[in-house]
Chain A
Amino acid sequence: MRNRERAHYNSFFYLIFAPALLVTLFLTAYPMATIFYDSFFRYSLVSNTRTFVGFQNFSRILREELFQRSLVNTLVFTLVASITEVVLGTALAFLFKREFRGKRVASLIVIFPMIISTMVICAVWQTFYHYEIGIFNYILRGMNLSPVGWLTDQRVALFSIILVDIWQWTPFAFLIIQAGMGSIPAEIWEAAQIDGARGGQIAMKITLPILRSQILMVLMLRTLDTFRLFDKVYALTGGGPANATQTLSFFIYREGFKFFNFGRASAASVITLFGVAFMALFYVRSLLGEED
């Protein structure tokens, strides 16, 4: 009797765990296995043929200028955007450490950008960046400077997209670092003040080292998220001008959904996955490293 009840109880747990497990495997494990498999084939949806080609997809893609461009752009975007966001977010958290009137309302407003749809944000910035009727060039003209092709100049376009990302996600860095600051006991600051430390010293020598893991965590989440850049490129530049804003995700999108070269799209996906895995390992090691 007791055994039967136990078995009944165990099967209950299997039963409630199975749906989530199956959905997750179906949506992630199976597609990932497919990518690795397909990356060794010349496989196009148009001709619907599948020919084994070994590593040919990889060797060709890696030598293509467009892919190299996408890789460099992605790395530039990831580095510049995520580091700037973390630095500005930390600065904001220090700024909001003090009490002031309207702090609550100000904090609420600060998080608006991260909960609004990226497409809405892109729509607004698109109007700002417009060459003839955008507000940025209006200001430049007002200062007697020549207007800039924010989204049409090859040297500028990527940084225009970076600026949008910074506007959107600095609040995220701010929130997490602010939460980290809130968990530092007040005694630490009091002790430092009694010992005669000044504001700047307290920030550099006490607060920042304590916040190290929070900062690393935000940096990790932001690098992994910026590495997948797609939406903003799609909405703002479409990869142009002259491929100046091509990214890895956009490359995969074009191969897969414009040209239906699933083999090549899969190979590019595998390369991207290795990039993500490399970054994740790097961060996990530095996050765990400090606990030793």
Chain B
Amino acid sequence: MYRLRKILNRAVYALVIVFVVSIILIPIYWMINTSLKTPREVIDPIPSFFPRTPTLANYKAVFKSGLWKNFSNSVIVAVSATLASIILAFLSSYALARYRFPFHLNRLFLIWVLVVRILPPIVLAVPLFTIFNRIGLINTLGGLIVAFQIYTLPYSIWIIYGFLKTLPKEYEEAARIDGASPLRVLVSIVAPLVRSGIIATSIFALILAWNEFLFALLFVRSPRLLTLPVVIARYIGEYTTQWGELMAIGLFASLPILIFSNVVYKKQTEGFSMSLK
């Protein structure tokens, strides 16, 4: 009796886990499934759970229409925004962790950075549009790289600051006594010590920038400058049932990110949780 209950218990447990995992996987599976269907099969009111005549036509079509350009826009913007944030965050966090600025600037700045994290970005978009327009940053990838700092910089500062604060000062002091310049200490001593933190932060910032939608939508108009999320949004609006192509783009926009899920899982549970959008 006891054993039977135990087996039953385990079976129910396994079922619940399978159920949860399927809820997550079904939409992702559906994306792959639909991307391999013919346009005719896509609009069949009886949805098929496997493509009846699998085809790569959707993938060919979206690449012919210039998706590589949008893909490279996304790469350029996400990588540059991340690099800029990491450099700015590393430098400023080091200063905040090792030097007391007057007027409680350290604490004020860190609080302000948190405030930025909770602001609805649309609130900043209206005035920034005017400013960016004046200095010629509208409709440029450079403008997006700057605007994305709103998300990636506060995030990077908080995480890297957390790492630097716990770093013992002895190594730096030893190097300074040996006559190393402050910059040298920063580059050759401090940076290698927080390398793993910087790599993890970069990945999170990369994901944030890769998926960013609002500023990418509002600050860029030319089709050849669009990033992938905006291309997808336009597709949803304009070609209502070109789902095969839409899903092909969607998969293409997701794959580079899903590779990082392992890192996200590990680092998130290590207390990275705070700042991911």
Contact = CB atoms under 8 A, between A and B. Distances in A.
Interface in A257-275: 257, 262, 265-266, 269, 272-273
Count chain B CB atoms within 10 A of each CB in A24, A34, A122, A280 and give the residue with the most: A24
Interface string A131-163: 011010010000000000000000000000000
B13 interface: yes
Interface in A19-40: 19-21, 23-24, 27-32, 34-35, 38
B116 A28 contact: yes
A35 B258 contact: no
A133 B44 contact: yes
A276 B118 CA distance: 8
B127 A31 contact: yes
B153 interface: yes
B92 interface: yes
B273 A175 contact: yes
A282 interface: no
B31 interface: yes
Count chain A CB atoms within 10 A of each CB in B31, B126, B276 and give the residue with the most: B126
B214 A231 contact: yes
Contact of B236 (A30, A126, A266): A126
What is the predominant secondary structure among interface residues of chain A facing chain B? Answer: helix
B261 interface: yes
B264 to A, nearest CB: 6
Count chain B CB atoms within 10 A of each CB in A100, A108, A119, A172 and give the residue with the most: A119
Interface residues of B, number: 96
B261 A112 contact: yes
A123 B236 contact: yes
A120 B256 CA distance: 13
B34 A16 contact: no
B92 to A, nearest CB: 3
A116 B258 CA distance: 7
What is the predominant secondary structure among interface residues of chain B facing chain A? Answer: helix
B148 to A, nearest CB: 10
A119 B229 contact: yes
Contacts of A124: 27-28, 30-31, 247, 250
Given A20-B89, A262-B126, A125 B27 contact: yes
A218 to B, nearest CB: 8
Contact of B146 (A27, A121, A132, A176): A27
B116 A117 contact: no
B193 interface: no
Contact of B149 (A27, A116, A253): A27
Contact of A269 (B31, B126, B183, B229): B126
B45 A19 contact: no
B124 interface: yes
Interface stretch (A7-15, A51-59, A184-192, A200-208): A7-15
Given A24-B153, A132-B45, 8 more contacts: A24-B154, A27-B146, A106-B17, A116-B28, A135-B30, A138-B46, A176-B273, A257-B218
5 contacts: A30-B131, A108-B265, A116-B254, A120-B31, A235-B237
